[in-house]
Structure 1
């Protein structure tokens, strides 16, 4: 493979100071070297048709597919700077685009096992589909359901008829008691009893006749369904075998030139197996190519090009960190032997961030949480509102935190000092008796004065802790907003959340179906800044002891 055709040399790169550490890939921070290369790649993308891949729709009826691109600035064996380019997955149904690094393993290559073995799986899928569409199978199922419906109608009719006959017989008995002799009445009773038995026998025989027909049809259906189950089991087994073989062939190098397959990498992760598409993202492709060709990685960045997906939040030309579920385990291996920056989130100092107590009494207090301080301890960072409050009030440590704010969100928080207050405050949150107001600074001009956002949310299983919009499995999330002011290309708003979903205000602000303008400083859904410009400014609630309606506010610093 000719390495030179994948390297792009720029004079501008040589003018930028070379970093001493590789940038941490899971938290985006401005990296001049990588961004210089990214800007050059963006210009190239604008001039290429990429196999007619449509990144941006020109009208509502046009199908578009945005794509993640990445650049890796490297030092070649002569010490010169250049950059490599990659795209996630495929573009225009192809793994190969001129000037972009190839996949780590090309499933579609001529000598790959994939095409032949996938044909076996495809054939089984087709057999299942054909059997499910077989005219006899469809006809039998229709006949079965028709018989079940007919049985229900007939049985209901006979039951109602028997009920009506019983009422009529009771009326006959009542009338006969007045006019018939004892002997005549006895004969009538026998006659009526026979009619009752006849009704019951008719119902029984009807049910038996239908049941016999239904069982005969079920037996015929079962023949088809046994074949279906056998084919589906075989398809599942063949798919599993093929998937495992794919995972075994995806092998990644690290800076120490050590190789590991996807199965090796994910065996100790929280996932049972590698997720679909693992290894197809930009970062693994770029680093593997660099190691394979003895190029020294210096800086990496990924950016989104094109329209945003329906669920996720991706902005055209915005930079994004590597994903968590697919890339983090892989890059954990690939970055071994490379000097990498410390996780900036861990490096964020919170010890100098003071908690302001806004109000305090015997059983609860109200604080102003600073941006950059966790509400509760994390897996790595332990400094938090909870740990500090427990240190101040050791007798209350089992029942203090009533609700949470995101680490980068500042503002009003309630802290309980007694079990009674904790229970009462939590109950108000659960029953939505509290009213909260946030102030946010949006990174753009919002044209509407006020409105409501209704977008259900759930966690992005492939990229925690990100949240995505999901109308099928998401939890309801409602937000009302009002404009405070528009100034210098930005918009300050009030947010009134009616529900309390994770990242609700951040997603409702940034998503294309929401306000389509991220909050300033949002490192997950927008562009990082010195802080997230989101502040819990006001909370209204019932006093947990006196039950009076009270309001607490925290001044906003932006």
Structure 2
């Protein structure tokens, strides 16, 4: 990752889908960090851009650099605490969509495969049945392309790279995954085809359930030969 050329998208600067006095929700594009990186070259992020507008805002959860979709930030300390608890206690409901290499035969199922840090290859993670942490993802097949499957993913846990590794464990790598995918899966997309489409949470102030959704940018299997 040291030679990674970080050029985050700038148009739009921030794609806001919801805002009130307690929180703000963005549609994060692929290719930008959720929070600043360790060095100055990777300072630009959704959170650093938000801080320019709302200096007292707080992070609640993150999406990977290569993942697009719904991301939530708190605009008050009280809201941060209320929202973080929901993510930590797995009270949120998250729906992702991915396009994977091959045709997944089962229309639905559950992937229950433990994961751990790959200490020899950071920042990667790996399947680890001996000492890995429990991870569970439900899935539903949506449609098939010529060489791919569009799949709906509903993670119960929120481990780093969970969805990427769970699809790999099934034998269906996510297209464009430059961390884990084989050459063919990597070549079929210039970006990771993983999108956080929907998050349902309890509003930190009203305590009512709210749902934030964004369109999936790769519903059609474009570019497959």
TM-score of the pair, normalised by structure 2? 0.90
2:7 maps to which of 325, 337, 348: 348
Query: For the residues of structure 1 that align with 2:192 and 2:53, how far apart are their CA atoms?
Result: 28
Q: CA deviation at 1:351?
A: 3.6
Q: Using the alignment, how far apart are the partners of 1:383 and 1:346 within structure 2?
A: 13
The equivalent residue for 1:360 is 19
Tell me what 1:557 maps to.
217
Q: In structure 2, what is the equivalent of residue 438 of structure 1?
A: 96
Matched, 1:502 2:160: yes
**Match among 62, 65, 70 for residue 404 of structure 1:** 62
Contact 2:141 2:150 survives alignment (8 Å): yes
2:31 counterpart residue number: 372
What CA RMSD, in Å, does the superposition of the two structures yield over aligned residues?
1.4
**Secondary structure of 1:495's aligned partner:** strand
Query: Quick check: which one's strand share is greater?
Result: 2
Q: Which of 177, 186, 209 matches 1:522? A: 177
Question: In the TM superposition, what is the alpha-carbon distance from 1:365 to its structure 2 partner?
Answer: 1.1
How far 1:353 sits from its partner (Å)?
5.4
Q: Please give the alpha-carbon distance, in whole angstroms, between the structure 2 residues aligned to 1:403 and 1:389.
A: 14
- 1:455-479 deviations in Å (ceiling 9; x for gaps): 1101100001111111221111000
SS across alignment from 1:481: strand
CA contact (8 A) 1:353 1:370 kept: no
Larger radius of gyration: 1
Residue 489 of structure 1 deviates from its aligned partner by 1.6
Count of matched residue pairs: 211
**1:44-443 superposed matches below 5 A:** 343=3, 345-352=4-11, 354-380=13-39, 381-394=42-55, 396-397=56-57, 400-443=58-101
Greater relative contact order (CA < 8 Å, ≥ 6 in sequence): 2
- Structure number with the higher helix fraction is 1
Q: Is the 8 A contact 1:438 1:535 kept in 2?
A: yes
Q: Distance in 2 between matches of 1:365 and 1:348?
A: 24
Measure, in 2, the Cα distance between the counterparts of 1:436 and 1:458: 21
Q: Residues 426-460 of structure 1: CA distance to partner in whole angstroms, max 9, x if unpaired?
A: 01111111000001001111111110001110110
Relative to structure 1, the CA distance from residue 358 to residue 349 in structure 2 (aligned partners, 3 Å threshold; closer, same or farther) is closer
The superposition leaves residues 169-224 of structure 1 with CA deviations (integer Å, 9 ceiling, x where unpaired) of xxxxxxxxxxxxxxxxxxxxxxxxxxxxxxxxxxxxxxxxxxxxxxxxxxxxxxxx
CA pair 462-540 structure 1, distance change in 2 beyond 3 A? same
> Which position in structure 1 is the counterpart of 2:133?
475
